[in-house]
A = this chain, B = another copy of it.
């Protein structure tokens, strides 16, 4: 059974995280991805830690299963090769600062003339339009500008960076959605491709919980509330005898169960605690009650008790625990790839589980230019002699 994107070819100008996360999923789902890199050094993430034998664990996670073609893009012959590839592929993805691809002669209008069927996706920090579109950006800045950071942290401290590149990841996956939608449209409506503009800023704004409508309706400004929640209590991270757990009680019935669990049955019907409104008015007290119990039990004990009662609870796992977890293994989320220099290494797997078209074996990430010859000779049909000349001229 072919994979869902088998037959789809992607010309990939992506770098760092947002764009590479997009084409990572396309490769996982069976697309053929040609990653364009500069000869020698290659993409900037190739030196990001952890590095072993010259390969980066971060890079190989985001670029598994892709093919690398190394081209000296300042050379006209290299541009000719790009243009020939454009004629052969379905999708182009890039995440340079707006304007960079145009300067290279690689903008949508140029590619569309060569291949009107092409879907061309651009991810950028602030998008291709709008007053901020030419600002330099990284996820750290976008988290700040789009409001996400103003909701992460403690009320008595500065806003805090969310501990992962959340706007990179979300914009990358949204671009996969956008591309698959555009492919569907192309293939069912006369074969016409199109351009897609996607901003990390916009992607971030979709994750602001209820706060846009809340501000619009009430002028309330969502802010820093630690691990609390405006409409649940208890809702926090609590110390245990050997770590931390998260506990969340939404319904008053859950509070009754909790009162019994923590051996404080009198709190079940205590008018100061038995309704969510009351518990929200004394969150600190609720937290103290819960933690004075949780800190006497191990996280595993608490998990077992809560599971028995049908209440939600989670142990705060560190990355070692997640990496050794039987559940992570059972879910196929600890994927071993065998890199040509680094050797075997475990990276996160693909979270999409299809019943009939499962993701096949995921191939390692390429070395810089590992597939240059294959792509130029087999996809574009250059002869060995012609290829040799490209090498001699320093074009590949």
Contacts and interface: CB of A to CB of B under 8 A. Distances in A.
Tell me what chain A mostly uses at the interface: helix, strand, loop, or mixed. Answer: mixed
A104 interface: no
Interface string A244-270: 111010000000000000000000000
Interface stretch (A32-40, A53-61, A70-78): A53-61
A314 to B, nearest CB: 3
Nearest to A189: B2
Nearest to A25: B177
A141 B176 contact: no
A144 B314 contact: yes
A148 B165 CA distance: 11
Interface stretch (A80-88, A350-358, A370-378, A386-394): A350-358
Contacts of A345: 213, 216-217
A296 B212 CA distance: 31
B174 A163 contact: no
Interface string A142-186: 111111111111100111111111100111011011101111110
A160 B226 contact: yes
Contact of A145 (B142, B219, B317, B353): B317
Copies in the complex: 2
A352 to B, nearest CB: 4
A353 B178 CA distance: 8
A313 interface: yes
A385 interface: no
B140 A317 contact: no
Interface residues of A, number: 148
Nearest to A212: B348
A150 B319 contact: yes
A312 interface: yes
Contact of A177 (B140, B176, B221): B176
A211 B319 CA distance: 7
A175 to B, nearest CB: 8
Given A147-B321, A182-B354, A185-B4, A49 B230 contact: yes
Given A206-B348, A223-B318, 8 more contacts: A5-B184, A144-B246, A164-B208, A173-B177, A180-B180, A196-B354, A212-B319, A216-B347
Q: 6 closest pairs, A vs B, by CB?
A: A57-B213, A141-B314, A4-B181, A202-B351, A144-B314, A152-B163
Interface of A: 1-5, 25, 29, 48-50, 52, 56-58, 60-61, 108, 126-127, 129-132, 134-138, 140-154, 157-166, 169-171, 173-174, 176-178, 180-185, 189, 192, 194-199, 201-203, 205-227, 229-231, 235, 237, 239, 244-246, 248, 303, 306-307, 310-323, 326-328, 330-331, 333-334, 342, 345-349, 351-357
7 contacts: A108-B355, A135-B303, A141-B314, A147-B317, A162-B166, A169-B170, A205-B351
